């Protein structure tokens, strides 16, 4: 990997976007031409996973290159420690300008984590309120997901999430043109992170009209068609799905709105790519597209995420750098923890990073170049629907989901991509498979002190349960407030008006 100028990097994130619902991953109906073009021109990872199927932990892992248990990334209200280095820190140390526009779900007083600029506030709160309660594992939490977002899915004119994504895109596009006006002498990392197609399942009329009700596909694995594992059952109870019998029309409406929201994200990808072209930055910019986790979207009667089953745990991952990597598809299993070393090596002309802490992530650059790379993803889950840690290993086509509380789940994704056959019940009659799975179970037991982990999670939840009430009474807020200096915006008396206007024009005259 070598070029005359260090590449800019643009990381585009969607939220709760399962690759199964993108045309470049084989969906026959969903329309997403801009993402499909990225895939046609880039390296597409067919087996990319989140390491924690929940918004905040997944993002903390992605940014730090560390697995959740290493940085106490337990759930959506766990603080992301300021002392944990991120890819933004490492790229800043390499001389990159680092900028975030949109969501990253940072919890705690540090709302930058290495980003030199943050152009918007976050869409979600930065405090401790959204923590699970393992002391009350059957309790329904008043802030948690609920099924109204499914039963009332459909068309809207505006929504909070549409507003947010419009703002995040506008700020990101403006940032690109500011860098172009600067002359492009400093390389930059720009992260544009949007909230759609995250529930509530809503979209604008024009996106709704891309589809017809009768063509919307129903879940491949409907509720009742396979035995329900205990974690799935607890999740469905927690957000109220077990209280309802949804008819096909309701399920189709939610999926149709989700597909429409994917269309809105696709439009924004197209706009950002157009801005890269118009600013003259495209040729020297690596573009990466991904998401934090997927969405069950009605599969097995489940919605949202929080599961290591495929629709929840897999993510899209596309790396577009035509001057560096030829288009190809990568079959090997990778995960979001691998993004930190990948970005750092992109900034260092392919050389390995000098890291301040051990990392679990492994670079994706060999995969991008068509060379041998790793074939493994490790998952850890400490949030809702359980009161014990849950672990996942995917290696090759085999996936194991293990917890001290629940029965073992073993799937062969090559022969059973929908995970309808749990092979754990057949180990006695298959000694080779039994030996293979025993090795994976031993790896998990040797890698984790599960009793100590459970105690750490419970202590953290109890601390946060106390602190959130005190913070609320004191009016303490960690929510990010973007800098906005009106004295230097647009036309001001810092210089003659025509000089200001001339400087703002692009291309320059």
- Residue 474 pLDDT exceeds 60: yes
pLDDT at 485: 80
Average pLDDT, the chain: 95
* Strand, coil or helix: 171: helix
Q: pTM for the complete prediction?
A: 0.96
Interval 109-117 mean pLDDT: 98
- Residue 3 pLDDT exceeds 60: no
**181-182-185 Cα angle (round to 5):** 130
pLDDT at 483: 87
pLDDT at 491: 81
- Residue 84 pLDDT exceeds 70: yes
- On the CB side of 137, CA atoms within 13 Å amount to 15
Interval 33-61 mean pLDDT: 98
Residue 302 belongs to domain spanning: 8-504
Residue 123 counted as domain residue: yes
- C-alpha–C-alpha distance, residues 56 and 104, integer Å: 7
Name the band, by pLDDT with cuts 50, 70 and 90, for residue 1. Answer: low
Percent share of the chain, pLDDT over 70? 99
- C-alpha–C-alpha distance, residues 438 and 232, integer Å: 24
- C-alpha–C-alpha distance, residues 215 and 284, integer Å: 41
Name the band, by pLDDT with cuts 50, 70 and 90, for residue 493. Answer: confident
pLDDT at 507: 83
User: Tokens 């090596």 map to which residue?
Assistant: 345
Residue 46 counted as domain residue: yes
Residue 509 counted as domain residue: no
Residue 411 counted as domain residue: yes
Work out the widest C-alpha separation in the chain, in whole angstroms.
Answer: 84
Total domain count, the chain: 1
Residue 120 counted as domain residue: yes
- Residue 468 pLDDT exceeds 50: yes
Residue 210 counted as domain residue: yes
Please tell me which residue, 437 or 303, carries the higher pLDDT value: 303
Residue 2 counted as domain residue: no
pLDDT at 427: 81
Strand partners, 379: 392
- Residue 2 pLDDT exceeds 50: no
- Residue 42 pLDDT exceeds 90: yes
Neighbour-count burial for 416-450, b at 16+ CB within 10 Å, e otherwise: eebbeebbbeebeeeeebbebbeebbebbeeeeeb
Q: Convert the pLDDT of each residue in 319-366 to its tens digit.
A: 999 999 999 999 999 999 999 999 999 999 999 999 999 999 999 999
Percent share of the chain, pLDDT over 90? 88
Q: Convert the pLDDT of each residue in 256-267 to its tens digit.
A: 999 999 999 999
Residue 3 counted as domain residue: no
- Residue 245 pLDDT exceeds 80: yes
CATH of the domain at 140: 3.40.720.10
Q: Convert the pLDDT of each residue in 414-453 to its tens digit.
A: 999 999 999 998 888 889 889 988 998 999 999 999 999 9
32: Cβ contacts below 8 Å, ≥ 6 apart: 22, 23, 24, 262, 263, 265, 266
| Candidate from 20-29, 337-346, 475-484 with smallest mean pLDDT | 475-484
In this structure, what are the phi and psi dihedrals at residue 289, rounded to the nearest 5 degrees? -120, 130
Residue 331 near residue 48, CB atoms below 8 Å: no
- Residue 4 pLDDT exceeds 60: no
Give me the active site residues, please. 55, 105
């Amino acid at each position: 990997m070598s070029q005359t100028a260090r590449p800019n990097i643009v990381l585009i994130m969607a939220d709760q976007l399962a690759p199964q619902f993108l045309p470049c991953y084989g969906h026959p109906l969903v329309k997403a031409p801009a993402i499909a073009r990225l895939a046609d021109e880039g390296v597409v990872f067919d087996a990319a996973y989140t390491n924690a199927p929940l918004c905040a932990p997944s993002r903390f892992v992605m940014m730090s290159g560390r697995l959740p248990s290493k940085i106490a990334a337990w759930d959506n209200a766990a603080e992301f420690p300021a002392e944990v280095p991120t890819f933004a820190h490492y790229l800043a140390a390499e001389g990159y300008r680092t900028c975030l526009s949109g969501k990253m779900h940072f919890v705690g007083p540090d709302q930058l984590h290495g980003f030199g600029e943050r152009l918007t506030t976050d869409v979600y709160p930065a405090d401790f309120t959204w923590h699970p309660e393992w002391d009350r594992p059957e309790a329904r939490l008043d802030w948690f997901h609920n099924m109204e977002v499914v039963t009332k899915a459909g068309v809207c004119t505006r929504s909070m999430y549409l507003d947010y994504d419009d703002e995040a895109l506008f700020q990101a596009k403006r940032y690109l043109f500011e860098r172009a006006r600067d002359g492009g002498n400093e390389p930059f990392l720009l992260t544009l992170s949007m909230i759609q197609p995250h529930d509530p399942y809503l979209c604008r009329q024009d996106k709704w009209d891309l589809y017809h009700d009768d063509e919307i596909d129903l879940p491949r694995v409907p509720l009742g068609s396979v035995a329900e594992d205990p974690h799935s059952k607890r999740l469905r109870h927690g957000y109220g799905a077990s209280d309802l019998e949804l008819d096909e029309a309701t399920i189709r409406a939610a999926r149709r709105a989700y597909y429409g929201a994917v269309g809105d994200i696709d439009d924004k990808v197209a706009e950002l790519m157009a801005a890269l072209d118009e600013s003259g930055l495209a040729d020297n910019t690596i573009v990466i597209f991904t998401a934090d986790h997927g969405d069950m979207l009605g599969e097995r009667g489940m919605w949202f995420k929080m599961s290591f089953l495929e629709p929840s745990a897999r993510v899209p991952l596309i790396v577009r750098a035509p001057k560096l990597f030829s288009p190809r598809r990568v079959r090997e299993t990778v995960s979001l923890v691998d993004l930190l070393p990948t970005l750092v090596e992109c900034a260092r002309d392919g050389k390995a990073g000098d890291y301040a802490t051990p990392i679990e992530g492994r670079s994706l650059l060999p995969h991008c170049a068509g060379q041998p790379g790793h074939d493994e993803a490790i998952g850890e889950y400490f949030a809702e629907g359980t009161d014990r840690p849950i672990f996942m290993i995917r290696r090759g086509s085999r996936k194991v989901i293990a917890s001290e509380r629940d029965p073992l789940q073993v799937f062969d994704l090559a022969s059973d991509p929908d995970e309808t056959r749990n092979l754990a019940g057949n180990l006695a009659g298959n000694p080779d498979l039994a030996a293979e799975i025993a090795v994976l179970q031993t790896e998990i037991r040797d890698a984790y002190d599960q009793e100590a982990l459970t105690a750490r999670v419970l202590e953290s939840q109890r601390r946060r349960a106390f602190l959130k009430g005190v913070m609320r009474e004191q009016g303490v807020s960690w929510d990010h407030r973007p800098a906005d200096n009106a004295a230097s915006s647009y036309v001001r008396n810092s210089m003659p008006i025509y000089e200001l206007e001339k400087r703002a024009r692009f291309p320059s005259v």
